[in-house]
Amino acid sequence: MRIIYTDTYQKMSEEAAKVIAGQLWVKPDSVLGLATGSTPVELYQNLVWLHKTVGLDFAQATSFNLDEYVGLAEDDPQSYHRFMHENLFNHVNMRRDRIFFPNGMAADAAREAEDYEARIAAAGGIDMQLLGIGRNAHIGFNEPDDAFARTTHKVALKESTIEANARFFSSAAEVPREAMSMGIGTIFRARHIVLLASGAEKAEAVRDAVEGTITPRVPASILQLHPCVTLIVDHAAGALLSGKSEP
């Protein structure tokens, strides 16, 4: 695993933007796997800036988001669909017909999950998958479990994740209890995985994921087996890694 240590959230975001911009410059028709949450917000601002100032081109790119809440319509202010449009898609030249999310409103979740996998496969697979990490080391909505979920599926959110995500809602009671998420296998098939982590509350999850036992109880630990992972951490999130030298 390649680890890029940065001092601040801003630097982490800039480094991440360089990695994704580099991907798009080398392969303009890249298939990107994208994440929501607090972590990538400034990365997306950097990508928008690169688009507007130096012409970073999304015209041939395709995107598949990691996850979406079950029961929220696309235009719901809390939907991941809305988040991605407000933070990235509305500000770059990504074609609308090349933007994909798992449909959290699908009547048949199992069928939707299969269709999502088929859409990813038809696009040629994911070239670069962006990930954040939960405090319990979840990736996507793959929560600690007895086994690694292989493909896209409907998942019940853990209480800790509901509490963590309540900051985006007026109360924890409003956070949907279920989501559709790419599985660990879906994520793992990406050719290059870029994992971002910022803040002291992620430090233990990062340490366990990178240096701990590989176990579905620490979902991100599976990334130790992937041949091409870039982890970009700020000072606080990387503080417990053994390779981290004090600045």
Could you confirm whether 138 is annotated as catalytic?
A: yes
Strand partners, 231: 3, 195
DSSP label at 74? Answer: T
Q: Which is nearer to ligand F6R, 200 or 245 (CB)?
A: 200
Q: Which is nearer to ligand F6R, 199 or 212 (CB)?
A: 199
Taken as a whole, the chain contains a residue count of: 247
Six token digits for residue 26:
């080398």
Contact positions vs ligand F6R (CB under 6 A): 35-39, 66-67, 132-134, 138-141
Q: How far is the CB of 96 from ligand F6R (least distance, A)?
A: 20
* 218: number of Cβ within 10 Å: 20
Per annotation, catalytic residue among 138, 153, 192, 235: 138
Q: Which is nearer to ligand F6R, 134 or 176 (CB)?
A: 134
User: Which residue, among 207, 43, 214, 52, has the nearest Cα to 128 in the 3D structure?
Assistant: 43
Residue nearest to ligand F6R (CB): 132
Could you confirm whether 136 is annotated as catalytic?
A: yes
Q: Which is nearer to ligand F6R, 24 or 35 (CB)?
A: 35
Distance CA 128, CA 110 (A): 25
Q: How far is the CB of 175 from ligand F6R (least distance, A)?
A: 12
Per annotation, catalytic residue among 67, 112, 117, 208: 67
Per annotation, catalytic residue among 87, 136, 142, 165: 136
Q: Are strands 2-5 and 229-233 parallel, antiparallel or unpaired?
A: parallel
Per annotation, catalytic residue among 68, 143, 208, 234: 143
Q: Are strands 2-5 and 178-181 parallel, antiparallel or unpaired?
A: unpaired
86 neighbors 77 (Cβ within 8 angstroms): no
Q: How far is the CB of 53 from ligand F6R (least distance, A)?
A: 26
Q: How far is the CB of 237 from ligand F6R (least distance, A)?
A: 10
Among left, alpha and beta (phi > 0; psi -120 to 50; other), residue 166 is alpha
Q: Which active-site residues does the annotation give?
A: 67, 136, 138, 143
